[in-house]
Chain A
Amino acid sequence: MDQFTLNLIVVGLTFALYVGIAFWARADSTSEFYTAGRGVHPVLNGMATGADWMSAASFISMAGIIAFGGYDASAYLMGWTGGYVLLAMLLAPYLRKFGKFTVPEFIGDRFYSQTARLIAVICLIIASVTYVIGQMKGVGVAFSGFLNMSYEMGLLVGAIIVAFYAVLGGMKGITYTQVAQYVVLIIAYTIPAIFISLSITGNPIPGLGLFSNTVEGGVPVLDQLDTVIQELGFASYTAQTDTTLNIFLFTMSLMIGTAGLPHVIVRFFTVPRVADARSSAGWALVFIALLYLTAPAVGAMARLNFVETMWPNGPQEEAIAIEEMPHWVQNWERTGLLAFEDKNGDGRIEYWADEEKNEAVKVDQDIMVLANPEIAGLPGWVIALVVAGGLAAALSTAAGLLMAISSAVSHDLIKSMIKPDISEKSELMAARISMLVAIAASTWLGLNPPGFAAQTVALAFGIAAASLFPVILMGIFSKRMNSQGAIAGMLAGLLSTVIYIFLHNGWFFIPGTNSFTNADPLLLSIQSTSFGAVGAMINFIVAYVVSNATQEPPKEVQDLVESIRVPKGAGAAQAH
C-alpha cells in the first residue's frame, strides 16, 4: 500500500470517529449548546482543553521554533503553560461559580454595562477570528501536502467536518470530539519522538533524553548540539541571544494572553462544580505538558539529526554528496520546504550559517516535526498518524474558537442586545446559524488569507492579555472596580497594544506603513509581540485611577462579587 492510501485511510478513520461522536453528543438545549450542560468530567474537560489549546502551531511549528531558537524559544514553553496557573487560581473557579454562558456576559453583568459587554464581544471576535485563520490554513496545508488534494478542496473538507459536529452538538459535541482529537494528536506526536530519543540517547522518554548523553559519542546531547552548530557559525543553542527584558515581557504576554483567551476560559464553564474547575485546569496542564515536555527534545534532537545528515562525518570532513542524500531529504525537497543549491558545483551540499557559502538555501522550521517519522525510519502508518494528528490539532482549536465566536454573536449580541425576548428554542437556532456563518466566514478567510495571517497571532494574544484578562481579574478581586474604570481600562489596554503592534508591523498590517521594526523597536528592546504585558499594565493602572475617581459600583453588584468568591450555591446559579 502506498503512503497516500495509508494517509487517506488513517485520516478517514479519525474523521469517521469525529462524526460518530457528533451524532452521539447532540445538543438539545442552550445550556448543552453553550456549556455542554455543565456535565463534563474534570479530567475529560482537561483533555478537551488540551486539544482546544494546542493548535497547528503547537503541534507542527513549536518544535521547529525551539530547534532554531534554542534557549530564547523557552518563552513559548513557559508562556503557553504558565497561563494555566493564572486560570486555575485567578479566573476559572469564580467564572464557573458565576454560572452563565460567555465571557462578555460576565463582563457585562459585573460592570452593569452593555458598553463593557460590547467592547468585550469586539475583543473576543478580533482575537478569535485572527486565530482561526491560522487553523484553517493549517488544515488546507495538511490536505494539500499529504492527501494529494488541492488546498481549497482540503480546506472545504475540513470545514464541513467541523460544521457537522459543531452545529449539531455545540459545546457538547465539540468537547467530546476534542477528547478524541487529543488522544489522536498526543499519540501522533509522541511515537516518533520516542523513537528519535531512543536512537540518539537510548532513553525512551524524550524529556529525559534531552538531558542525557548520546549513544555514540557519550557526551550530553545539548553539548554536542552546541559544539556542532557553533562550528557551522550558528549561535549557541543554550545561550541567550535576545535581551532579558524582551524574553521576560514576551513570556508574560503569552502567559496572561493564554489566561485571557475566551475560547480557553469557557472550557471551564462546562464542569459540574467550582472545585472541578480548579482541578480541571491542573488536568489540562498535565495533558498539555505531555506535548510541551516532549517538544524541546524533538526540537534539539531534530536539529542535531539534520546537521549530522548534512555533515555525516562532522564539519571538518566533506559535506554530504547530493546522490547520497537520504530518502526523507529528497521527499521534503519535493514539497519545497527544503531547497538546495550546489553553489560551488562540487556535487556536495554544505550547510552553513553564512549566507554566502550556505548551500541548504531553504530549511523550513516546520519539517522538524513533519519529517520526524521518516528520519527515525518509522513505518508508513506512523507518517499517516502524524498527518491525522496535525489535522486533529488544527480542527479542535478551530472548533473551540468558532464556538466562542458564535456564542458571542447569538448570546451576547442577539439575545442580550437585539432581541431579549427570544425563546430558548429560537436562541438555540440562532446559535446554530451563527456557528454556520462563523465557519463560512473563517473558511472564506482561509481561502483568501490576508497576507498578514502569520503576524496576527501576536494580535490575538496581545488583545487577550491587554484587554480581557485585566478586567476579568479586577471584576473578581476588586469590589471597588466600577464600569467607568473597566471600560476606560479595556480601551486603554486595547488601543495601546493595537497601536504598538501596528507601529511595528504596519497599519492594519499593510507592508511599508510601519515606523519601527522588531529589530529596532520604539521602546527599549520591547518587540511588538511582547507588548501585551505592557498593555495589561496600562489597563490595570487606567482602570484603578478612573474607578477611584468615580462612584463605587451599586450594592447588588458588590453582592454579586461576594457570591462568586465562594463555591457554595453554584448549582442554583445555573438557572438562566
Chain B
Amino acid sequence: MAKILISFTLNGKKIEDAVSPDQPLLEYVREKGCRSVKRGCETSNCGLCTVLMDGKPVLSCTMLAVRADGHEIITLEGKQSKAEEIGSYLANEGAEQCGFCSPGLIMNIIAMENELKNPSEYEIREYLAGNLCRCTGYVSQLRAIKAYLASKEER
C-alpha cells in the first residue's frame, strides 16, 4: 500500500507526514498523542470522535486522514482552556459519570457555539443529537450547557 504525503495543521502545529490511504483520521491523531479522541461505536453514530475540521465538527472515525490534507484539524487537546471551562459546568451539574463521551460532546458544544447564536433548548438538542451518552439521560448535560451558555451571555 502506497502511503500518501499530506500537509495540514493539527492543533496549530504544521504537520507533514505520509499516511496510509485507509487510515481514519481518528487513528492518526491518536498516534500523534491526541488521546481525547475516542472510538465509541464503529458505526459513525456516537460522536465520541468529534474533531473540528476548518472549524466544522466532523467524525474522525469516518474522515480519512488523507482528506485532512490542506486543512486545519483541532482536537480537544487544542482547546484546553475551553475544555476546562465547559468541563467544569458538566462536573458542577453532575453530568459526568464515566466521562468517556465528554471530549466529543465538548468539541460539539464548541462547534455549536460558533455556529448558533443564542440557541433554544430545541436547537441545542438537535445540534447535539449525534453525541451519545450511555450513562446518563442527557438532562444534567442539558442543564450544564444552558448554564454555560447563560454565563457567556452575562460576560
Same complex: no
Q: Which residues of B contact A (CB under 8 A)?
A: none
